[in-house]
């Protein structure tokens, strides 16, 4: 069993992936199924993941992701998608909640409060999608490291173009792309940059 501290300290954003090393489908599934333990608002899990692994699709993604070579070299790229209206009734999680005893009226109340008070504007809807799916993204990166798999998160891409490429609906965000695979051991990983510490980022009240 891997120490959580080691998972945190070993995770790095990997710029050079070994093209010849492919991630096993079973390991990718294990990583994803570990990562979905991430928390989300009302456990609505307003997220989806598109796995880009064919050379053809990678090339298209690379062109819309500022020609970042890791997109081509990584075994796969995970397009993390958030649903800006994932709090609405068609989210299948409500059916499970109701089956498990949540009164239908309470579900309706959650939806009403979400629409009118919590996420009334487009900006807040996007924040809902991005906040939730970012937690999934981070969980994927730590779960990957648990399995000795490397990752690199990216927001350097043309969101509209990426949505077109993978038929992502208008009301969904592309929160980030995570390249996933194995580090090319012939390349050096730069030392980690300093992190701001408690006293530099915390205000106590
Ligand atoms: C939301 C987000 C977006 C990022 N976008 C890019 C990117 O487009 N291209 C890139 O090379 N690195 C990108 N990075 C990687 C960061 O540069 C990297 O995480 C940071 O320098 C810390 O390094 P470490 O992850 O190795 O600790 C991104 C990281 C995050 C969290």
pLDDT, tens digit, 9 for 90 and up, residues 68-98:
999 999 999 999 999 999 999 999 999 999 9
Instruction: Report whether residue 10 contacts ligand 1, using a CB cutoff of 6 Å.
Output: no
CB-hemisphere CA count at 13 Å for 130? 12
Question: What is the model's pLDDT at position 146?
Answer: 98
| Residue 138 Cβ < 6 Å to ligand 1 | no
Q: What is the pLDDT of residue 124?
A: 98
Using CA positions, which residue lies closest to atom 27 of ligand 1?
A: 12
Length of the chain: 205
3-state secondary structure the chain: CCCHHHHHHHCCECCCECCCCCCCHHHHHHHHHHHCCCCCHHHCCCEEEEEECCHHHHHHHHHHCCCCCHHHHCCEEEEEEEECCCCCCCCHHHHHHHHCCCCHHHHHHHHHHHHHHHCCCHHHHHHHHHHHHHHHHHHHHHHHHHCCCEEEEECCCCHHHHHHHCCCCCCEEEEEEEEEECECCCCCCCCCCCCCCHHHHCCCC
Report residue 47 CA to chain centroid gap. Answer: 8
Residue 17: closest CA among 76, 79, 53, 70: 70
pLDDT given for residue 59 in this prediction? 98
Which atom of ligand 1 is least distant from the CA of 152?
Answer: 15
- Band of residue 63 on the pLDDT scale cut at 50, 70, 90: very high
Residue 137 has pLDDT above 90, yes or no: yes
Query: Is ligand 1 within 6 A of the CB of residue 154?
Result: yes
Nearest CA residue ID for atom 25, ligand 1? 13
pLDDT for res 1 = 81
- What are the structural domains of the chain? 4-84+119-201 (3.40.109.10)
pLDDT digits (tens, 9 = 90+) for 159-194: 999 999 999 999 999 999 999 999 999 999 999 999
156 Cβ inside 6 Å of ligand 1:
yes
Cα-to-centroid distance, 13 and ligand 1 (Å): 6
| pLDDT recorded at residue 181 | 98
CB 92 within 8 A of CB 117: no
pTM: 0.98
């Amino acid at each position: 069993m891997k120490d959580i501290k080691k998972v945190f300290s070993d995770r790095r954003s990997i710029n050079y992936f070994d093209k010849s090393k492919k991630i096993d489908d079973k390991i990718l599934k294990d990583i994803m199924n570990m990562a979905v333990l991430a928390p989300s608002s009302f456990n609505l899990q307003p997220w989806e993941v598109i796995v880009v692994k064919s050379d053809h699709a990678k090339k298209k993604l690379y062109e819309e992701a500022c020609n970042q070579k890791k997109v081509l070299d990584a075994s796969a790229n995970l397009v993390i998608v958030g649903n800006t209206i994932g709090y609405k009734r068609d989210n299948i999680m409500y059916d499970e909640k109701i089956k498990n005893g949540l009164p239908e009226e309470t579900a309706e109340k959650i939806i009403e409060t979400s629409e009118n008070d919590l996420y009334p504007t487009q900006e807040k809807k996007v924040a809902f999608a991005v906040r939730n799916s970012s937690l999934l993204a981070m969980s994927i990166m730590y779960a990957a490291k648990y399995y000795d798999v490397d990752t690199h998160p990216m927001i350097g891409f043309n969101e509209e173009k990426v949505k077109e490429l993978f038929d992502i609906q208008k009301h969904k965000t592309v929160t980030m792309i995570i390249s996933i695979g194995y580090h090319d051991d012939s390349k050096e990983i730069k030392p980690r940059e300093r992190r701001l510490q408690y006293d530099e980022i915390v205000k106590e009240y």
